[in-house]
Copies of this chain bind each other. A is one copy, B any other.
Amino acid sequence: MSDPDQRVTELGLVVPDYSDPPYGRRYGVMKAYHRSGRLLMLSGITPEDRAGVKVFPGIVGAGVTVEQGYAAARAAAVNVLGLIRYAVGSLQEVTAIVNTQCYVAVGGGFTDVNLVSNGAADLFMEVFGDPVGRSTSIGLGISALSGNNCFEMIATVETRSAA
């Protein structure tokens, strides 16, 4: 597998700079990450860019399509890359995407939650390859996410060195 930072460039991904993370300003007092040994735990991250523009906000199954939800999940996963860089400097520090919890705002009887959360899972595989990018995971269809986002995720990452 090639270097994940190089893969980001090859894939043409625009990874946000989180040196000024959005949490305090927009979504209440929290911190972007916590390190405990080799585990890096991230706060919930949505598919919003640094200007607060959201990728397909709303409800999957009631206005937002599966394809749009997948795109939103992919965008949130790209934001996770930004949080990882903010926390540990480089994607090369990642030895495993340990766990992802993927939340999809759903309605209208929509149950194919996994078809949306795959947008995040596939992005991590493209960037980190197998097995580093293959996480334990759960996808959950819920009522509402802050700011009317259609997708939000948390990730736990294993890093090469301990904090």
Q: Which residues of A are in contact with B by a Cβ distance under 8 Å?
A: 23, 27-34, 36-39, 41-44, 96, 98-99, 101, 103, 105-107, 109-115, 117-118, 121-122, 125, 131, 134-148, 152, 154, 158
Contact = CB atoms under 8 A, between A and B. Distances in A.
B113 A145 contact: yes
A121 B137 CA distance: 21
Which residue, of A29, A32, A42, has the highest number of chain B Cβ atoms within 10 A? A29
The 9 A-B residue pairs with the shortest CB-CB distance, nearest first, are A44-B138, A141-B144, A114-B146, A30-B137, A28-B118, A43-B136, A111-B144, A111-B148, A27-B114
Summarize A's interface: helix, strand, loop or mixed: mixed
A145 B136 contact: no
B137 A107 contact: no
Contacts of A145: 111, 113, 140-141
Contact of A96 (B34, B144, B152): B34
A96 B31 CA distance: 11
25 contacts: A23-B137, A29-B118, A30-B121, A30-B134, A31-B135, A31-B136, A32-B136, A34-B96, A34-B98, A34-B158, A36-B39, A41-B99, A44-B137, A44-B139, A101-B154, A105-B141, A111-B146, A111-B147, A111-B148, A113-B145, A113-B146, A114-B146, A139-B146, A140-B152, A141-B146
